[in-house]
Amino acid sequence: MKERLEQLKQEALTEIDQVNDIQALTAVKVKYLGKKGPITEVLRGMANVSAEERPLIGKLVNEIREEIERGLNLKETAIKNKALEEKLEKETIDVTLPGKPISQGNRHPLSKVIEEIEDIFIGMGFEVAEGPEVESDYYNFEALNLPKEHPARDMQDSFYITEEILMRTHTSPVQVRTMLNKKGNVPVKIICPGKVYRRDDDDATHSHQFIQIEGLVVDENITMTDLKGVLLNFAKKMYGDHAKIRLRPSFFPFTEPSAEVDVSCMMCGGDGCRTCKNTGWIEILGSGMVHPKVLEMAGYDPERYSGFAFGMGVERIAMLKYGIDDIRHFYTNDLRFLDQFKRV
């Protein structure tokens, strides 16, 4: 029996040595150590072994079983290690290969200009206020001293939704709403950026939808000097410290007096060039002292309070800043145009 057991062990170890995968190894294990295997059979035959020999044979069986198990375990580890090595070999990454570039988007040029203008006014203590693009005729026109018969209220000039509701034609209704919310409290010191809509045929300089930034300051003792100081500071921050401004008389129904604001030409520094049509000046803003009627309608006593307001078209500012010759570029989403603002 001893010889038979030794022979079984040798056979098992030889087969273990020859297999190269886990499946075959499992088959060897089942073959030699399974319930129907030769070792189990030897154990079953123990009944026929003499009482003196039984412990020796039992011990031998256990030793052989342990040796076969050790052989199986060693082989299993070896197979798994080899498989892992092969896998790692195959998956080697060449870190010297050039990376695949990921195409990155960028902020829209108008968003950049809006943020730049907002930052300048925030730096002067202004807050940013926003409001609805679909407005009532009252906030858009009436409260801004634009009476019913005013030409700007012509159905042909604005996008009306009903007789009383329209797409706002400027961001001024946001200022009106802010003043009414403040219920006569001062100071009011806000800028209002946002989309506005006018019925216009689109061309290189006109768009039926564009972006305005308007500003409003209301307090006691506000004068035209404050208006000029704030706008000069804005021009210097936007175009450089050498920038100058000049005010020319104008007319708006919501301001009295009113003024157009020119900045010294940012292309030629005031010497005269194509951009400024040889005048040395470029118009960038409209402005004025808030009309007493507008203050009154918004709940501020015009005898005690005064204010100034201004407005600018963001596309125009951006076109001058980047030398863009057609407003439609901002709205046609051509990546060849938009990608040029990645580095600015």
- The residues of the shown chain that bind ligand 2U9, judged by CB under 6 A, are 170, 172, 175-176, 212, 214, 216, 252, 254-255, 286-288, 290, 294, 309-313
Cα separation, 263 vs 284, in Å, equals 7
Nearer to ligand 2U9, 11 or 142 (CB): 142
Cα separation, 214 vs 163, in Å, equals 26
φ, ψ (nearest 5 deg) of residue 235: -60, -40
Q: 97 in helix, strand or coil?
A: coil
Nearer to ligand 2U9, 270 or 313 (CB): 313
Q: How far is the CB of 214 from ligand 2U9 (least distance, A)?
A: 5
Asked whether the CA dihedral 48, 51, 57, 62 is positive or negative, the reply is positive
Q: For 52-177, list the strands marked E by DSSP.
A: 127-128, 134-136, 165-167
Name the strand (E) or helix (H) holding 197: strand 188-197
* Start-to-end CA span in the chain (Å): 91
Nearer to ligand 2U9, 264 or 306 (CB): 306
Q: What is the DSSP letter of 99?
A: P
Q: How far is the CB of 310 from ligand 2U9 (least distance, A)?
A: 5
Q: How far is the CB of 259 from ligand 2U9 (least distance, A)?
A: 8
- Which residue, judged by CB position, is nearest to ligand 2U9 in the bound state? 286
Outline where 91-222 has alpha helix (H): 109-122, 137-140, 172-182
Cα separation, 176 vs 192, in Å, equals 11
Q: What is the DSSP letter of 292?
A: H
Q: How far is the CB of 323 from ligand 2U9 (least distance, A)?
A: 20
Nearer to ligand 2U9, 15 or 315 (CB): 315
- Residue 271 near residue 261, CB atoms below 8 Å: no
Cα 316 off chain centre by: 25
Cα 210 off chain centre by: 22
Q: How far is the CB of 126 from ligand 2U9 (least distance, A)?
A: 14
Q: How far is the CB of 312 from ligand 2U9 (least distance, A)?
A: 5
Does the annotation place 303 within a ligand binding site? no
Nearer to ligand 2U9, 32 or 121 (CB): 121
Nearer to ligand 2U9, 44 or 183 (CB): 183
The annotation places the binding site for Mg(2+) at 256
The annotation places the binding site at 256
